[in-house]
């Protein structure tokens, strides 16, 4: 059952209403989805095949497709075979009813098949979302076949609505829950930042919050504006060989050794030991405590030229403004992790292929701003930082930094350009590749110092993130990295202070080669391999509860009695 306490949902809507896209958003949090296609035939109809191909392009590669074909009884069998960890998306019941009424399948007991389907949905062990056309709002069809279809579909919709936990109606892309389900009476108190019911958030783990839940504004401290005017190190000099502290070199190994002695019935915490050892070193104790006061720094930058190909500035502004207003997926995950969020808008950066993206003075200003943000977090009692980013052209800028500092091939590390709906814009990706290539060619004879890389390629957001990492290390404040901007900043910061990487942790490997390769160069081993692609900062926040649980468990569990000194044999 989902965190919204539902297991089955029926999504109704007219033609081109957006019902399928909404249904896909409902299961976007699933690791994999079995897409059950009910349509049969249509190979000779180009328009129909175009619709099917559009649906196929929208599906993530992790989804599998199963076709029920011309057998109307197959759908109930698929539901009966589902396992508890399966997620099924059935699209749509109009195709199933058309197959049901096909003369080739007659005579048969249509009512019995509808009843069997409803029972299969109700008894399904997996999570099920069904899509169905709502034809009851139109005129009564003029033909006998049309009336039979409308009647059968109406009967089917009623039968399934009766057994589904929740029912939604989608009209013109707007969604209304007409059967809210038990979550309306039992609000999810763990979700401090619900999205509006009419705007499903595909990347968020919950689907649609019932109106009875408190709005985001109920947690006014979630979004903060750090005071960066009171920086206590205004005379800091950013140069190679900065004198920065190191984590405790003994506490980490001691904590890892202690894990082998804990009173566990199983073999241990597995890869989560990486996070426990990191926390031990940064807290100077073999029994570290989970972080309780994270701060998320959402960096929003804009890169001009080819780096920005395929990015929508208006969409980026919408997401950043939503976070600043206490809404969106980042806010939801931050609230669950007990974190506050600071939105940091950086100055625009010039086109890397045409010349320097920043002046030397602008680089220094951005570094100092990041340093001050880390100082403010320490003053505010924050015990860990999370670098998040949402901007235009940031992936290309980060790929350029990685290529310039490690010699990596841009085409091997530049992330593909993801368009709304889960499709990829490869033309824009090629434009970005060309911009990075031209920029690297332009600076082939230039100095490759840290500030030079930021001025020529990285831009303001990467420079601010670099200042954050340096400032955090100076104040012995750990930082979680999970995306291109944070990794690029780590690669630049190591050339100013090699100690910085020891204060950084990568919670999840994600899906980007850029992040994996950059982390490897920094000597950082991702704690988990969940394959998350929620956005920079969101991956870390999603994994943080699991990591914190492991750290707390390791601290609280005693040593196995058999390993205590002086135990009885």
Which residues are catalytically annotated? 55
Q: How many CB atoms lie within 10 A of CB 80?
A: 13
- Residue showing tokens 């296609």: 37
Q: How many CB atoms lie within 10 A of CB 557?
A: 15
Q: How far apart are CA 281 and CA 300, in angstroms?
A: 31
- Encoded tokens for 250: 């003994």
Q: How far apart are CA 238 and CA 451, in angstroms?
A: 9
Backbone CA torsion sign across 260, 264, 268, 273: negative
Contact 367, 450 (CB under 8 A): no
Contact 348, 443 (CB under 8 A): no
Q: How far apart are CA 196 and CA 189, in angstroms?
A: 16
H helix and E strand count, the chain: 19, 15
Q: How far apart are CA 204 and CA 416, in angstroms?
A: 22
Q: How far apart are CA 471 and CA 382, in angstroms?
A: 13
* CB-count burial class (<10 Å; 0-12, 13-18, 19+) for 338: middle
Q: How far apart are CA 201 and CA 313, in angstroms?
A: 19
Q: At what angle do helices 484-493 and 513-522 cross, to 10 degrees?
A: 30
Q: How many CB atoms lie within 10 A of CB 233?
A: 14
Contact 401, 488 (CB under 8 A): yes
* CB-count burial class (<10 Å; 0-12, 13-18, 19+) for 444: exposed
- Encoded tokens for 113: 């098949």
- Encoded tokens for 189: 């108190």
């Amino acid at each position: 059952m989902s965190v919204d306490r539902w297991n089955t949902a029926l999504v109704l809507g007219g033609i081109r209403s957006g019902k399928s896209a909404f249904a896909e958003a409902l299961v976007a949090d699933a690791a994999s989805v079995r897409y059950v296609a009910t349509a049969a035939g249509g190979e000779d109809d180009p328009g129909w095949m175009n619709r099917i191909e559009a649906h196929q392009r929208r599906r993530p590669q992790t989804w599998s497709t199963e076709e029920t074909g011309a057998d109307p009884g197959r759908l109930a069998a698929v539901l009966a075979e589902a396992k508890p960890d399966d997620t099924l998306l059935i699209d749509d019941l109009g195709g199933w009813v058309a197959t049901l009424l096909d003369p080739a399948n007659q005579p048969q007991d249509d009512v019995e098949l509808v009843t069997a389907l409803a029972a299969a949905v109700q008894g399904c062990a997996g999570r099920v979302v069904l899509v169905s056309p709502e034809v009851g709002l139109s005129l009564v069809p003029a033909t006998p076949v049309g009336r039979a279809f409308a009647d059968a579909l109406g009967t089917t919709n009623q039968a399934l609505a009766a057994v589904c936990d929740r029912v939604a109606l989608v009209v013109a892309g707007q969604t209304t829950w007409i059967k809210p389900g038990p979550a309306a009476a039992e609000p999810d108190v763990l979700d401090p930042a619900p999205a509006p019911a009419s705007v499903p958030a595909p990347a968020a783990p919950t689907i649609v919050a019932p109106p009875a839940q408190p709005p985001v504004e109920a947690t006014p401290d979630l979004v903060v504006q750090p005071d960066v005017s009171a920086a206590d190190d205004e005379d800091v000099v950013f140069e190679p060989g900065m004198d920065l502290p190191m984590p405790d070199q003994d506490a980490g190994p001691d904590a890892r050794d202690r894990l082998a002695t804990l009173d566990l019935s199983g073999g241990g915490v597995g890869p989560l030991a990486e996070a426990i050892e990191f926390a031990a070193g940064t807290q100077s104790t073999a029994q570290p405590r989970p972080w309780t006061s994270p701060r998320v720094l959402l960096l929003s930058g804009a890169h001009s030229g080819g780096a920005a190909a395929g990015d929508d500035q208006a969409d980026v502004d919408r997401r950043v403004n939503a976070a600043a207003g206490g809404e969106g997926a980042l806010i939801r995950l931050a609230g669950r992790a007990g974190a506050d969020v600071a939105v940091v808008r950086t100055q625009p950066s010039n086109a890397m292929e045409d010349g320097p993206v920043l002046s030397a003075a602008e680089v220094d200003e951005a570094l100092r701003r990041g340093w001050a943000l880390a100082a403010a977090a320490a003053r505010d009692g924050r015990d860990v930082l999370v670098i998040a980013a949402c901007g235009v052209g940031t992936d290309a800028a980060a790929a350029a930094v990685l290529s310039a500092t490690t010699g990596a091939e841009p085409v091997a590390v530049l992330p593909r350009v993801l368009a709304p709906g889960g499709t990829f814009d490869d033309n824009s990706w090629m434009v970005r590749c060309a911009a990075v290539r031209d920029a690297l060619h332009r600076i082939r004879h230039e100095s490759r110092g840290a500030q030079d890389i930021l001025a020529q390629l990285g831009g303001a957001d990467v420079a601010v993130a670099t200042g954050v990492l340096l400032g955090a290390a100076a104040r012995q404040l750990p930082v979680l990295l999970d995306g291109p901007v944070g990794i690029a900043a780590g690669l630049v910061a190591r050339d100013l202070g090699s100690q910085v990487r020891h204060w950084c942790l990568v919670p999840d490997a994600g899906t980007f080669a850029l992040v994996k390769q950059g982390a490897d160069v920094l000597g950082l081993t991702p704690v988990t391999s969940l394959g998350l692609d929620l956005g920079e900062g969101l991956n870390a926040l999603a994994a943080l509860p699991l990591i914190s649980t492991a750290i707390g468990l390791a601290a609280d569990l005693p040593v196995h009695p058999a390993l205590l000194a002086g135990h009885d044999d």
